[in-house]
Structure 1
Amino acid sequence: MLSQRGASRAGLLDIPWRYAPTQTYDREKNPGGLISFGMAEHVPMRKEMVNFINDKVTFTEDSIGYRAKPPSAARLPTALAAHINRNFNPHSPVDPNNVLTVSSPTALGGMLGFALGEPGDGILVSRPMYGRFELDYGVEADIKIIYADTELEEGFTPAVVPKFEAALKDAEQKGVKIRAVLIANPNNPVGRCYPVETLKEICKFCQKHQVHLISDEVYALCVFDTGDPDAVPFNSILSLDFSNLIDPNLVHFMYGFSKDFASGGLHLGFLVSKNQALLRACKATLRLHSASGAAVTIGAAVLEDQEFISNFISKARKNLALCYRIATVTLDNAGIRYIKGGNAGFFIYIDLSPYLPPESPEHPSQQEREFALAQRLLEGGVFLHPGEEHATSPGLFRLVFTQDEDILREGLRRQVVCHWIMCKAKRADI
């Protein structure tokens, strides 16, 4: 017999479409296999990282021990602080003593939820937003993600604040105490960066209500040139002068190796905070979420090699720009709409609302209509995650374009074929 919470967590596995299916396509061995546009990995860059690890990393006894000894123990926090100080333009240099290393940003979400809130409390986000934050903060810490009803453009302007105000008031009227605001900067799934003025207004909102601000910046260096002169550049929350904005003890920065360094399987995440009480609380739960000694050794070696990082990020950005261009040109030629202005991350937010089945007894809700469309795409050999980014309008899907070029082109070809078939079916209905 399971506990009530154990049974409820096990039930998460039964929620339709919550977890992306595994890609099975192989051009030679399984050409009919599934191509997944659901998993946010920068696949073409993994070879660069693997080559570095095989050539440059030396393991020591500390790499496989329970706990590294000085000076090894300080090596990774020092390297991470130096990396942020070089690449994130912090207003005040990051002190290695304010860095906590964990197994992943995903694990860190649960740790922060546990430390900042009580079971049933809420963390406020705008729409659309990465849907698996619900799992990160909810599975262990039992923290709710509360969605402000923002239209897409509002989330990137100071207009987001009145929507936060309304959502906070509504939540508290329902007995849910808001403990923090969570932003993903660059945004997931829209692929845009937050303007400085919007970041400042969000800081002021958090200060006014004395709630924490968590800035998830795992895509920080995955910003690329799209040729759009109006694209907003990346500005880290750490680049702001918090004077007259917010108590620095309320601001917490999240980072990791999964996106900027194409190493999700390495399981390395970081918290940067000046809040010593929070760091202490997270250290108390670290025994459940600590990074492996081997991962720490690899992470330190990568971050200490400035030449490698410079070359890696430069190559990654060129590849992102190439894949983005291939995807957007294909979508444009097929007449598939998508949200413009993206210049960061691994995804394009596409609008498939014209192809949703109509409301019916079989498909009574927005969610069921998106599920039905996802099933049709799956039958065509391509996967897109339905409904996970919680937009206010139905039919928006996150397409992850960071595949090897031949797989990206084949997946897009399949999607265009599905698009053509659905358009033909729509015309037949008319």
Structure 2
Amino acid sequence: MLSARGLKNVNELDKPWRFALTQTYDPETNPTGLISFGLAENVTFTQDSISYRSSAPTAARLPVAAAVHLNDILAPHIPINSDQIVVADSPTSLGNMLGYSLAEQGDGILVNRPVYGRFELDYGVEAGVEMVYADTDIEEAFLPASVEKYELALAGEKEKGMNIRAVLLVNPHNPVGRCYPIETLEAIAKFCGKHSLHLISDEVYASCVFDTGDSEAVPFTSILSLDLSKLINPELVHVLYGFSKDFASGGLHLGFLVTENQSLRRACKAVLRLHGASQAAVTIGTTVLEDRIFVSSFVAKARQSLASGYRLTTSILEKEGIKFIRGNAGFFVYVDLSPYLPSGDLSPKEREFSLAQRILDAGVFLHPGEEHSKDVGWFRLVFSQEEVILKEGLRRLIGALKAA
């Protein structure tokens, strides 16, 4: 017999479209294989990209190297010290650890939507923490006025007896692909300070910001770059970062938690034996971060590739008259496929599933409903693919939509 927690987690495996399918397409060996626009991966690391000769790994070198790197890309108001960093095998594990350490089972974490849907698993599968959604329109989510929706959601959950422990902020945003303006970050921090809520800022796409030619695009600003002492108790602010996005290496399994909260760091370290990074990952990660010339070169190249993929994708979407949200960060374009949803006596979720199945039958995977938009028919299209794959996938997608 399983515990109630175990049974609840087993049921997650039966939810339709909950997990992404694996890409099998190869232009030479498997030209009819599946193309996945649902998994946020960047260009693939080759063996040469990560093969460094290094000394034996030590636990001390990686946090020091990570502090140098994070001070560089996050530009914190107060420099990050290595002792403020907890190293684990992924930001996903760190989310689970934060859920356990900051909340009781059944407590809630407040987040606006649309948002990356697997946070429900990251914070819920083991820690039993619920994601609570503040309903904001896509454009509204990035405005200081969005705090009004946070206030409404917080009050509503309190009336239901739900204890909200934290706000989760995703910056740069997944799936919208935008960065939060400074004034909005300040408003959210003030809201958390007012209600003594923890503020978790997921900044795994910090360096995945690229030039789209839009002079009005908002640049990335880390929550740590603000003078937090004027907005919130700094010990309530926690930043997540990892290798999976900026370094296109999800399989390396390295994640970092930055927090001034010593008690939280100790609580996380107490369970690190279940979530610790492998020595191989520590060795590779340390060597990469210590090579600042390589990091600068790699990030610049990655940004160019992302900009190229974004331009190609959006130009095709515009040509076909498909609505999308303009962004400048991440690996994805948030597209509105609601005009192609089937009609009939179906629930909103069933309509999305039906459209996703039709697209899948054409050899393309898009995740239906997993980014939790309050409006039906929005999908996250991941464009960080080689050009030949991206063109073929978009051709298949457009064909499936036109055949509706």
Task: Name the TM-score class by shorter chain.
Answer: over 0.9
Pairing 1:322–2:308 present: yes
Secondary structure at the aligned position of 1:6 is classed as: helix
Deviation at 1:258?
0.1
Question: What residue in structure 2 maps to residue 195 of structure 1?
Answer: 181
Structure 1: tracts of 5 or more residues without a match: 64-71, 423-430
Q: Judge conservation of contact 2:98–2:268 (CA < 8 Å) in 1.
A: yes
Question: Which residues of 2 match residues 352-371 of structure 1 at below 5 A?
Answer: 352-360=337-345, 363=346, 365-371=347-353
Question: What residue in structure 2 maps to residue 428 of structure 1?
Answer: none
Question: What residue in structure 2 maps to residue 81 of structure 1?
Answer: 67
Separation (CA, whole Å) in 2 of partners of 1:57 and 1:371 = 48
Secondary structure at the aligned position of 1:46 is classed as: coil
TM-score by length of 1: 0.93
TM-score by length of 2: 0.98
Separation (CA, whole Å) in 1 of partners of 2:217 and 2:45 = 27
Pairing 1:385–2:381 present: no
Deviation at 1:243?
2.4
Question: Which residues of 2 match residues 241-390 of structure 1 at below 5 A?
Answer: 241-340=227-326, 342-360=327-345, 363=346, 365-390=347-372
Q: Judge conservation of contact 2:5–2:126 (CA < 8 Å) in 1.
A: no
Pairing 1:46–2:45 present: yes
Deviation at 1:359?
4.3
Deviation at 1:52?
3.3
Question: What residue in structure 2 maps to residue 101 of structure 1?
Answer: 87
Deviation at 1:26?
1.4
State the AA in 2 paired with 1:377.
I
Pairing 1:133–2:119 present: yes
Q: Judge conservation of contact 1:57–1:297 (CA < 8 Å) in 2.
A: no
Runs of 4+ in 1 over 6 A off after TM superposition: none
Structure 2: tracts of 5 or more residues without a match: none
State the AA in 1 paired with 2:352.
E
Question: What residue in structure 2 maps to residue 22 of structure 1?
Answer: 22
Structure 2 CA distance for partners of 1:359 and 1:167, relative to 1, 3 Å = farther
**What is the CA RMSD across the aligned residues, in angstroms?**
1.0
Question: What residue in structure 2 maps to residue 418 of structure 1?
Answer: 400
Q: Judge conservation of contact 2:73–2:206 (CA < 8 Å) in 1.
A: no
Deviation at 1:2?
2.2
- Give the % identical residues: 62
Q: Judge conservation of contact 1:168–1:178 (CA < 8 Å) in 2.
A: yes
> Bigger CA drift: 350-359 or 99-108?
350-359
Q: How many residues align?
A: 404
Question: What residue in structure 1 maps to residue 198 of structure 2?
Answer: 212
Deviation at 1:31?
1.0
Pairing 1:407–2:389 present: yes
Deviation at 1:419?
1.8
Separation (CA, whole Å) in 2 of partners of 1:383 and 1:52 = 28
Secondary structure at the aligned position of 1:335 is classed as: coil
User: 1:183-234, CA deviations, whole angstroms, 9 ceiling, x for partnerless residues?
Assistant: 1100000000000000000000000000000000000000000001110000
Separation (CA, whole Å) in 2 of partners of 1:401 and 1:221 = 17
Question: What residue in structure 1 maps to residue 100 of structure 2?
Answer: 114
Separation (CA, whole Å) in 2 of partners of 1:26 and 1:261 = 23
